[in-house]
Amino acid sequence: MQIQLMQVHTMHIPDGFINAPTSAVAVVIAVIGIAICLNGARKQLDEKTAPLAGLVAVFIFAMQMLNFPVALGTSGHLLGGALAVILIGPYAGALAVSVVILVQGLLFADGGLSAIGLNIINMGMVTAVVGWLVFRGLIKGIGVSRPKVMAAAFLAGLVTVPVSALAFVLEYAIGGTGTVPVSTVTFAMVGVHILIGIGEGLITALTVGAVFLARPDLVYGIHDRLPKKLLVTSTPVATPANGS
Amino acid sequence: MLVGAGMVICLFLAGFVSFYASSAPDGLEKVAEDQGLMTTAQDSANATLPTADYGIAGVGSERLSGGLAGVLGVLVMAVIGFGLFWFLGRSKKSATVEKGAD
């Protein structure tokens, strides 16, 4: 069976890697996940936050085209799950990445059609859950300021990539068509994806830092923890004149 | 404001910067190649699309082909992304105090 080496390299599972039954179950799980996200996002989004959610989806698509070199002949690109959940919340965030993967698979033949459920689980759902838990856990511990939010965003982004790689390993262990031992695949996958995770963390931190600078009130991951002074600066001048 | 600036950045990234992206195999591919897993990989059933692999079939210049595909992707994503999230958040006023700095 001959495969043409693809011009564009993206971290998507191609067809044939994981057997048909496992891939089919993954599609069912992905559909259930998307349904949950649609419901959650509908409750959370409003007229103010919806445009940012759309922009996040477009931005992740664009960033996923930009492979960066990590080490000796290997590249990686943003997965975007952590970035999405920090900016627009876990439901809308997972949904945004899922839409990206659907468009990539359906329009650009990036990632196998039969593997689309696997790719949505690994890059959309797993990264959203892990990214959200790590970011929120850190923010609760260290508090909210621009450097702290960027540090938490870096770590959240970093962690999501090797965990997403572990999700692939699990799928390979269940339904992989290859004959390579799972332990070998685990070591190889986690190692290189920790390196890619550093890039993910940097892009996540820089992007969240930029949005925090412009509109801290739009960063959903800190919406309930915004320092009062940040709220005041983005409100039209309504302070009592010459209060001091 | 934020959305307008963001879209310009996205079009620039996907339409222009993407040409300079690393063409080395990515993490999953590298592992698969090194470990001999690639033998079971197949081309996507969609591989014959004129837009497959982020190019536009028939456009000779690689830079132009990839750039156009990137712009197309950003526009398609914008229609679906803004449309979907607008639909989900429609006719709901902001839960927090309205901000004037838009």
Q: How many other C-beta atoms can be found within 10 angstroms of the C-beta atom of residue A229?
A: 8
Q: Which of A17, A42, A66 sits opposite B21 (nearest CB)?
A: A66
Phi and psi at residue A11, to the nearest 5°: -85, 50
Among the listed residues A205, A197, A125, the one whose alpha carbon sits nearest the alpha carbon of residue A160: A197
Domain count, chain A: 1
Q: What residue spans define the domains of chain B?
A: 1-19+50-89
Q: Which domain holds residue A55?
A: 20-225
Per CB-CB distance under 8 Å, the chain B contacts of A49 are: 89, 94
- Quick one: which H or E segment has residue A74? strand A74-76
The residue whose two tokens read 């993967």 is: A101
Residues of B in contact with A11 (CB under 8 A): 26-29
In a domain, A113, yes or no: yes
Q: Does A203 touch chain B (CB under 8 A)?
A: no
Which amino acid would we find at residue A205?
A: A
Give which of A91, A116, A97, A102 is closest to A38, Cα–Cα: A91
The two structure tokens encoding residue A213: 């600078």
Q: Is residue A233 part of a domain?
A: no
Give the tens place of pLDDT for each residue, A100-153.
999 999 999 999 999 999 999 999 999 999 999 999 999 999 999 999 999 999
B8/B18 Cα distance (integer angstroms)? 14
Give the C-alpha separation, B100 to A127, whole Å: 33
Q: Is A186's Cβ below 8 Å from some Cβ in B? A: no
CA distance B44 to chain A (A): 5
Please check whether residue A103 lies inside any domain of the structure.
yes
For residue A137, the model assigns a pLDDT of: 97
ipTM of the complex: 0.89
CA A55/CA B85 separation, integer angstroms: 10
**CA distances in angstroms from A72 to A8, A10, B43, listed in the order given:** 18, 17, 26
- Calculate the alpha carbon distances from A81 to A90, A91, A126, B40, B58 in Å: 9, 11, 8, 28, 34
Q: A188 CB near a chain B CB, below 8 Å?
A: yes
- Six token digits for residue A186: 């685990």
A244 is a domain residue:
no
Q: How many CA atoms lie within 13 A of A232 on its CB side?
A: 6
pLDDT at B94: 67
**Neighbouring-strand partners of residue A71:** A74
Residues of chain A with pLDDT under 70: 1-10, 229-244
Whichever domain contains A29, its CATH number is: 1.10.1760.20
Task: State chain A's mean pLDDT as an integer.
Answer: 90
Mapped onto helix, strand or coil, the DSSP state of residue A219 is: coil
Q: How many CA atoms lie within 13 A of A8 on its CB side?
A: 28
Confidence of residue B101 (pLDDT cuts 50, 70, 90): very low
Q: What is the pLDDT of residue A160?
A: 98
Put simply, the answer to whether A67 touches B9 (Cβ < 8 Å) is: no
Query: Between A6, A185, A218, which is nearest B53 by CB?
Result: A6
Q: Are A81 and B33 in contact (CB under 8 A)?
A: no
Is some CB atom of chain B closer than 8 A to the CB atom of A212? no
Nearest to A54 among B39, B82, B101 (CB): B82
**Quick one: pLDDT at residue A236?**
47
Q: Which residue of B has its CA nearest to A60?
A: B10
Which residue(s) pair with B26 in the sheet?
A75
**Residue B31 pLDDT > 70:** yes
